[in-house]
Each structure stands twice: as structure tokens, then as C-alpha cells.
Structure 1
Amino acid sequence: MVQDGPPALDLQTVNLHTVLEPVVQEFRQWARGRHITLRYQRVDRTVRTDVPTLQRIVRNLLSNALRYTDEGGRILIGCRRRQGRLWLMVIDNGIGMNAEDAARCFEAFQRGGMPKRVPEGMGLGLYSVKRMAELLGQSTTLRSVAGKGTAVGVSLGEGDV
């Protein structure tokens, strides 16, 4: 059976830590194998989200950060409040992107940084993140500096506490 339109979401009010912790643990081994420090700032906030969709977003963000961060680098995942909204942020000190690449990084089949250096991937990671965030009614943000790193964020719908 072919489904028309986006998949149905199962929005739930959940503790963000219970959503993030298992995904972060999945990526710790990959980070260790590349001698990259993966730091998780525990987040005990309640959000309203579709858990599998948010976990896919986090997997894409961590995968990108690991792919574009050199051995010995650092990645931080956590939340910050900005402009009255809660943002899930993945920040790395990887190869970063110039302003032109950063401006189009959420488009399909775009790969920032130096694609020859990072051969795997089709340039759909951040495009997928943006589309999934939109399904959740949320926004994305990105700041990047070539040679310094990238910070990618997704706003979160806070739940009733």
C-alpha cells in the first residue's frame, strides 16, 4: 500500500534525556574509534515530539559531526535556550563550511566542507534533518566557519511540565 503525504506522527510528552541518551550511546563507539571526544550535556527537559523522528534527527546530526570532525576533535550535544525557544544543538570543531556552502547546506544533494575529503554520503543528511524538523513543526539553524567547526540546531516543542 502506498501512503500519500508525510508519515503519521505519534506526538508524546517525554523527558528529552530518555530520547537522547540511547542515541548518544550508539555513537560513542564510533567517536572513540576516531579519537573524537563526544560530550553529552544531559538535558532533563520535557518536550512534545515524535520520538523516532527526533532520534533520526539526532542520528543524522551526530553522523555529520563525526564525518566532518578530524581525529582528536570534539563534539558537544546539548540544549540551549535562545529567543524564547529550546534548541537541541550539535556543535563540533570539525572542518566547517564557508558562507556559500552553509547557505545551501539544507538543500538536497549538497555537501559542505571539502567533499573529496569525506567521500561517503550523498548530501541528504541536513536536508533530511530540515524536512523531519518541519514535520514536527520545528525549525533548524546552522552556523559554520571553515576550518573552525559547525553548530547545527533544531528547535524543540516543549511539553507541559
Structure 2
Amino acid sequence: MAVIGRGADESGPTLPFGHYRARDGSVSAPVKVDCARPHAACVVGKRGSGKSNTLALLAEGLCEVDGAVPVVVDPMGAFSGLEAAGAMVCEPRVQATAVPPAEWPALVGLDPADSAGSLVWQAADAADTLAGMREALAESDATPDVVRTAGNHLARAAS
């Protein structure tokens, strides 16, 4: 039996992962995944090859291992069923001040040299929160269309 993520002389909890396939296509030796210490993994493959299913099975299995805390980053929403299965799902938030003011225009898809991008930059420099940035936009002396454009792009950061 092979254990992915573990040396031959190591022991600890494992998670069944499947079987090797023999050259003739038959099922061969079992494969398990090490659960004794933290690991990072990347599953790649073409569309429809089972990447999401593989990760979902790993996450579900890891939820049952004492001390294991699987973390799944899911920008596509493919793992929404994990919440129904009892997994804690959270939406990470980043403080507005974690991004330098000069980076805000590019973050929301604006050119910092354009009017709307410059306005977002100024708002980020003047405020510590997204709400404060929106207030700074509303209080600016920019033209209404520039304020609207900046506000629409800034709304991306809240979503």
C-alpha cells in the first residue's frame, strides 16, 4: 500500500484515496493520503476529468479525521454542497487598508491615470473602509459620471 505524503518509516492517520491501476486497467494496490501533518496539494486536469469530485472526496474524508482541518478555496462555487454536509463555510474579507491606496484602481479594474481611477486612489488614501471610500467619492468635486464610474468599480471590491 502506498501513502501519499508520507515516508516509508512514518505512521499516523490516513485517508483512503483509491487504487493504482495496473497496466491492463485492472485495480491494483490501494492508495491512501497521509493525514498526520499539514500538506498542500494542487489537482489539475482537463474539464470534466473529476478534479472537483476528487477534491470534494478528500475534503469530506478529512472532515472525519481528528485534528484535520481541510481548507478549500472555491472561487467557482463548485463545493457549495460542503456546507450542507456540515462543513463551516466562510467568505474571507480583506480590510480596505490592507491594500495600498495606489493599488486600488487596478484592483477594481481602473487605470490610475484616468479620472475614475485617480478618484478611487484618492478615496482609498482618505478612508480606511470601503464605506468611507464610497463617502469620499460622494463628497468629491468630480463630475457625476466620474463619481458613478468610480463607484461602480469600487462596488466590485464589496462583492
Q: State the TM-score, normalized to the length of structure 2.
A: 0.24
Q: Which has the higher contact order (CA 8 A, sep 6+)?
A: 1
Give the structure with the larger strand fraction.
Answer: 1
Q: State the TM-score, normalized to the length of structure 1.
A: 0.23
Give the structure with the larger helix fraction.
Answer: 2
Bigger CA radius of gyration? 2
